[in-house]
Structure 1
């Protein structure tokens, strides 16, 4: 049915009456969806604003938002009873994600260059042989008799004994004073003389600064010769 045309007034003007055009409320987001502002609420006289910059915006007011473009952090201008400051807006931390898969093993690096050979220890040979080098030895000749004390202050050396007679089966001992000997050291001896097979030679005891050489004639007859006895002191560590 067609709508009736409104009648004009005595002045000729038509009255404007549109009952179907009711007043509409502002649109706001409620629960993430656009809806009219409830009748009991009202918009703030000064709405909050949002700024994007790498420094705090000038002229901002309370409740304004600022996105710091230099660090990606959002801030809100918070106003309390006696101060106003930008406060970072931090959401609730999410759950820790699962651990990623272990990456593949990297390639083995190149082998480094061989270091330089260190110097030989004091008095020790740097050649293929094990023993002392030149300068770490000495010689001494025994006088008077085969039981006479001799002195040689080297870690190795040769002692030439007196040529006094030594009866078959007889044993003679003599002391070697030597400051290179420590109380726990071991002293090795041997003979290089042609008749050395006729003797048993050993060191029954060694103490700090000396040791004793014992010789026994194991032949069937008396022997009168000067023996060449070599010795070497081996240092023993106790800790």
Structure 2
């Protein structure tokens, strides 16, 4: 069997060591698993620390890079915890995909942290898509400031309606008479008018008392008729509801009789919705 000579790296190329040459064992540390395991620990690398590896583009020769080089290379792949910019890619240019490698119905969400020390608060705001093909998309905002959308072209819904969801509405039954104030602290809801009547071509007025109403609020009302079974309820075309005045906590609602004869108000409901407005 031919003699096997030691292999050395010369100019980045592995070559057999010439006969008669000897490896300077004292100057070449062994790099094996036991040696690495027994080496002193250094938990925090310095930027000048070096790592050795083989270069696939240059005949698998031995090369090195510093810890600073490695951090720079990784920063082009991963976003740092201090934030960064999402670069274009060949697959999804400029995209960030959340939950793509999961399986089954599951929520996917992004937490935003805007105050406090690291991990002090769960989140300042959260955008979450609940699991399943028809899961709800929810935006949670901690604190008292609103969720604002700035879109010069407006905000559109191409499929479903825009409005208040379940839990934001309520009902109230007017007490005593059809001019008694109605307290209901919901963003939208239904008011059932008290039994009474409106004289021909006349009007009645009552206050909607609501803590969601501000001086700049836009309060919308419309009427509907529910058959009470007595046959005395007013047909929807016989009256017109409108908001005459708004101030903090109050909207003054007027109901006008469109006919010359007296009409009853039992069976009449007024639906309302409160929207935020601005004077500037």
> Taking structure 2 as the reference length, what is the TM-score of the superposition?
0.42
Higher helix share: 2
Greater C-alpha radius of gyration: 1
> Taking structure 1 as the reference length, what is the TM-score of the superposition?
0.49
